């Protein structure tokens, strides 16, 4: 080794030692440090991700967005969201959302919210059913089950089976996972027949519903609904596919 190489090697060792000392010193200091200032804005997270337009509208229309913001700020348990994509909403049977009253819409959206932070690996050890924000959580109304298989996380509501298809956001307090289906709770869709075998459309009734949504002053809600109407063609197509799959 030349003198230069010696010096270089020595410098590396020194750097390494310095680094070790640094981390040893730094770690105890970092532990009590608080997280990011203020709660994370869920709406912003979803907006940034794109493809969650309808979910965002429904979060706002039902005021569940505010509820999440408050819960994130007021508790240390964190939160977990299963965020259905726009495609997930557009592949719902038409009239699925319109069949719900305002209170039930709130429950449907709250069903996608778990009042604790669950990392992907924690899904392997959580016990079923999971509590959701919907209904009376102490009585485990609106339960949701998860099963893991390797790295994949399957979700079952008793009506909807799907799996986590991506992590949108995670920071140790808030986790947002993408799902490709709207999670339909058993409590809203299990007892009633419409979900499994959608009845033929009744256009007159739909119009009445749309008008009824108006006076509530929920602009977001009704525009979400009109968007739903816009994608009706896609839904019809999805129905056709579903029918074909059923026949196979
Ligand atoms: C969150 O962000 C949205 C826009 O991205 C904004 O309209 C809303 O007021 C924000 N909420 C809070 C609590 O800051
Ligand atoms: C968060 O909670 C604290 C009290 O715990 C309150 O002072 C503050 O206004 C809250 N911030 C938001 C954005 O809700
Ligand atoms: C998860 O769901 C997929 C289909 O979406 C299925 O093939 C797989 O067996 C399921 N795994 C578990 C553990 O339920
Ligand atoms: C969820 O899990 C619980 C406990 O294992 C079980 O009793 C219940 O039937 C499950 N429900 C669904 C929809 O899988
Ligand atoms: C959904 O998954 C559960 C297991 O978690 C299974 O028992 C049930 O048959 C599945 N339902 C459908 C419709 O695939």
Torsions phi, psi of 244, nearest 5? Answer: -65, -45
Q: What does the pLDDT look like over 190-208, one tens digit per residue?
A: 865 444 445 555 554 444 4
Q: The CATH number of the domain where 221 resides is what?
A: 2.30.180.10
pLDDT of residue 236: 40
Cβ neighbourhood burial of 177 (10 Å; 0-12, 13-18, 19+) = buried
Work out how many domains the chain is built from and give that number.
Answer: 1
Residue 219 domain-assigned?
yes
Rounded (5°) CA angle 48-58-189: 130
Q: Is the CB of 124 under 6 A from ligand 1?
A: no
The pLDDT assigned to 113 comes to 94
Domain assignment of residue 66, given as a range: 42-247
33 located within any domain: no
- Ligand 1 in reach of 70 Cβ (< 6 A): no
| Domain assignment present for 34 | no
Please tell me if the CB atom of residue 156 comes closer than 6 angstroms to any atom of ligand 5: yes
Take atom 4 of ligand 2 and give the residue whose Cα is closest. 74
d(CA 170, CA 174): 6
In degrees rounded to 5, what are phi and psi of residue 131?
-75, 140
Separation of CA 154 and ligand 3 centre (Å): 6
In a domain, 123, yes or no: yes
Residue ranges of the chain with per-residue pLDDT less than 50 = 7, 10, 12-18, 20-33, 193-197, 204-248
User: Alpha-carbon distance 163 to 228, whole Å?
Assistant: 23
């Amino acid at each position: 080794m030349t003198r230069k190489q010696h010096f270089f090697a020595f410098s590396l060792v020194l750097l390494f030692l310095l680094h070790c000392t640094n981390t040893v010193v730094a770690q105890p200091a970092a532990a009590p440090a608080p997280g990011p200032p203020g709660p994370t804005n869920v709406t912003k997270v979803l907006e940034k991700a794109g493809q969650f337009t309808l979910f965002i509208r429904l979060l706002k229309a039902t005021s569940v967005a505010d509820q999440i913001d408050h819960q994130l700020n007021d508790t240390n348990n964190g939160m977990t969201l299963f965020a259905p994509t726009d495609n997930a909403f557009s592949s719902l049977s038409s009239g699925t959302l319109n069949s719900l009253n305002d209170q039930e819409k709130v429950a449907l959206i709250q069903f996608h919210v778990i009042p604790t932070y669950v990392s992907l690996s924690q899904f392997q050890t959580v016990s079923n059913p999971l509590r959701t924000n919907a209904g009376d959580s102490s009585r485990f109304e609106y339960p949701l089950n998860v099963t893991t298989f390797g790295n994949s996380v399957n979700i079952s509501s008793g009506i909807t089976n799907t799996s986590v298809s991506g992590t949108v956001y995670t920071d140790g307090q808030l986790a947002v996972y993408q799902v490709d289906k709207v999670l339909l709770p058993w409590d809203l869709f299990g007892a009633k027949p419409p979900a499994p075998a959608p009845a033929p459309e009744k256009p007159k009734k739909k119009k009445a519903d749309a008008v009824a949504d108006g006076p509530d002053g929920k602009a977001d809600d009704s525009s979400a609904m009109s968007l739903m109407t816009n994608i009706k063609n896609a839904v019809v197509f999805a129905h056709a596919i579903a029918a074909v799959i059923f026949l196979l």
